[in-house]
Amino acid sequence: MGQPAYSAISSYSRVQILHQLQEHPARTVQDLTEATGLHANTVREHLQRLIEAGYVVVETEHRTTRGRPRVLYSAATGTDAASSPVAQRKARDAARRGDLMRRVLPWTDTPDPAGAPLPAEVLHQLDALVDDLEGAGFDPIVDEAALTVDLTPCAHAQTHATHRDVLCAVHLGLMQSVLSEARGPLAVDGMNPSCDPAECVVQLSRA
């Protein structure tokens, strides 16, 4: 893989904003401006892009005192408190496409390690995850038996090598959000250790 494809997270400025929101939810534009050093208008533009991608949710502060309520931004987590309608729709669309592919190409329906077909909810989570990763410029290889997602080589890590820790944290958070929005037993367990900065294999776990 060469350069990362243009997507909501192809800009490191948007990755910075997402990192802030993953670490500290319910933040204002002013909060993000101070944390990133970006201009307020630039932050607003990036936030809109992230909202449209289903990665950020917005709410209006509930005030019990006088004053204009603040607009608060949080990273979408797929939980009831921070679920994105955009991400939910993307997960449903990915599941429909996956079901269609499995009907047309039944040999793609991979069994679990015990030999039984994977439950629909697991398949739909993987459909949503692969769809989102491909949209972000990755070329994921999923091992359903080992529950791993191989993203090697990671073009993002190569492009922003000095920010690898932040990039990995944000991408893992996004993967967990996608799995949660798709509603199923799979969750992100972590990234398998490697000495190669371009190597990225994410381990999933199944409740």
Residues 6+ apart with CB under 8 A from 168: 157, 191, 200
Alpha-carbon distance of 91 to 81, in angstroms, equals 18
Mean pLDDT of 168-176: 95
pLDDT tens digit sequence for 39-73: 999 999 999 999 999 999 999 988 777 778 899 99
Distances, alpha carbon 149 to alpha carbons 59, 153, 160, 188, 198, in Å: 33, 12, 21, 10, 14
Domain residue extents for the chain: 12-206
Q: How many residues does the chain have?
A: 207
Domain 12-206 has CATH 3.40.50.1980: no
The structure's pTM equals 0.87
